[in-house]
Structure 1
């Protein structure tokens, strides 16, 4: 196998692993919603945008006949639909980061996973010289950097329900 083929296979594998990892970060939110029967620290928008993104990529994968794109995005679409359903089931109202000056409702792991996934897919698209893969992933990079900035500006506070023990 030539060097380019090995690199392409490796990069494709990295894209799949990061993408499935990103999709699975919602499982902790799902578990939290089920346990607390609320959405107090869970954001809806990432689920919705990822679902729309999955459906678009699923269509593109079907059009191109790319089994990797089809499988990865079918799994993602099913998981996002599950997360959205749970959110809508438990959601009485939404919290806002800027108004509350708190990022408690943001998932740091989802932010990092989205950044890594979007960067890896951009590199994959660049390697294939396929703008249809590169361009749709730039918003994921941009919004990840915006969320990282918000984490910096409004750091997540320690849980106030627990006080440090005096020694």
Structure 2
């Protein structure tokens, strides 16, 4: 039996794991509701997550890959919900609006390009490259906390459940990418698996101090 025999099973597992990964920000949104504000938390992870999911959805539709279509449809909807909650409790609403306008512009230009590009294979390749770039940016975002972690000697600012879910999801999508032999799926998930593994190692090297039960939810701040 070759790897292709496991395509459906791996694709299903990768999709389910990604959906579970997408549920993690619910705890962040719950904290916003309890506090009544987003504080200094950046909306960028939610906005970039939505842009990444929407672009991968477009790529999945162009390729006719059901696993990519399903998971990124769910991902785009959930990220929009998180953005809506963030917007309600955000003291700097204009920043969120500006970011969403930027997302809308990128989406519109991408759709326009796929319409006017006569070479469909080239269009798929270039949209795939854009998807790769956005995914790598999404994976790398938590590492903006690296200097703070080294300075404080604590990984407290990193969300362990999200990091573990990202590692597992990236690994499964990497395997799926090898099965369908798609470099646009393989490349970002090679980097994603590596970056999330690096982040997991920070929990061992710089363990977070014990916290009281009332302060277990951690939020990543992206400047």
Do they fold alike, i.e. is TM over 0.5?
yes
5 Å-filtered alignment, 1:131-142, equals 131-142=183-194
State the match for 2:85 in structure 1. Answer: 86
Partner of 1:32: 31
Aligned length: 160
Matched position secondary structure for 2:62:
helix
Asked if 2 retains the 8 angstrom alpha-carbon contact of 1:42 and 1:106, the reply is no
Gaps of 5+ in 2: 93-143, 215-223
In the other structure, the counterpart of 2:208 is 156
* TM-score where L is the length of structure 1: 0.77
Q: CA deviation at 1:152?
A: 2.8
Unaligned runs of 5+ in 1: 163-167
> Does structure 1 residue 98 correspond to structure 2 residue 147?
yes
CA contact (8 A) 1:112 1:144 kept: yes
* Cα pair distance change 1:160/1:71, threshold 3 Å: closer
CA contact (8 A) 2:3 2:179 kept: no
2:195 corresponds to 1:146: no
CA deviation vs aligned residue, 1:60-113 (integer Å, no higher than 9, x gap): 1111122331121011112122223433544569x9563362433321111010
Alpha-carbon RMSD across the aligned residues, in angstroms, is 3.1
Instruction: Using the TM superposition, give the Cα deviation of residue 119 of structure 1 relative to its aligned residue in structure 2, in angstroms.
Output: 0.7
Residue from 112, 115, 119 that aligns with 2:171: 119
Partner SS, residue 207 of structure 2: coil
How many Å apart are 1:137 and its aligned residue? 1.8
Aligned match of 1:107: 159
Q: After TM superposition, give the deviation of residue 54 of structure 1 in Å.
A: 1.0
Higher relative contact order (CA 8 A, sep 6+): 2
Deviation of the 1:120 alpha carbon: 0.3
TM-score, length-scaled by structure 2: 0.60
- Other-structure match for 1:73: 72
SS at match of 2:179: helix
Greater mean deviation of Cα atoms: 121-130 or 36-45: 36-45
